[in-house]
Amino acid sequence: MSAAHSLLSKGRWQGVGIADLIRDQLAPYATGVNATIQGPNIILAAATTQALAMVVHELATNAVKFGALSAPGGRVSVGWGAPSGGDDAADLTVEWRETGGPPVAKPTRSGFGTSLIDELIAHELGGMVDLAFDPAGVCCRMKLPLGRV
């Protein structure tokens, strides 16, 4: 949260670019070799910045402990996009994908992290999340209403 607040402070709490937010959250773990971050320049509102920062932090922490960033050949890619034209009814789509890490097994129960991701995306941001525990790597797809971003 402190990293997200620092970014918001730099922007006078007017918003943060999603690339800056994701890059900042991955900075302790990512290199040019193990992470790819790409998407259009989209500015997030303060509330969206805080919630998405927590989600990305949770995904990154799990990737370091158990997933792709725990293995030498592992990679994380984060991409996002939105339809052009500024339609507030459209969605911002964000995808977190891990590859090259240890085999993934679906958890037998929902833990704090999974609940946090679900709650923040659905209740704080009015979006939807699909968190898939594919054996090849975790994939988290999020859809956030642009009108609330």
Domain of 144: which CATH number? 3.30.565.10
Give the pLDDT score at 99.
97
Which residues of the chain are under the pLDDT cut of 70? 1-14, 85-89, 148
Give the pLDDT score at 8.
47
Q: How many independent structural domains does the chain possess?
A: 1
Give the pLDDT score at 83.
78
Give the pLDDT score at 7.
53
Question: Please, which contacts does 86-90 make with residues 24 or more away whose CB atoms are closer than 8 Å?
Answer: 86/146, 87/146, 88/145, 88/146, 88/147, 89/145, 89/146, 89/147, 90/145, 90/146
- The C-alpha atoms of residue 140 and residue 67 are separated, in whole angstroms, by 13
Q: Are 27 and 56 in contact, with CB atoms under 8 Å apart?
A: no
Tell me: the pLDDT tens digits for 45-68? Answer: 888 888 899 999 999 999 999 999
For residue 24, what are the domain limits? 2-148
Give the pLDDT score at 13.
54
Give the pLDDT score at 90.
78
Give the pLDDT score at 34.
95
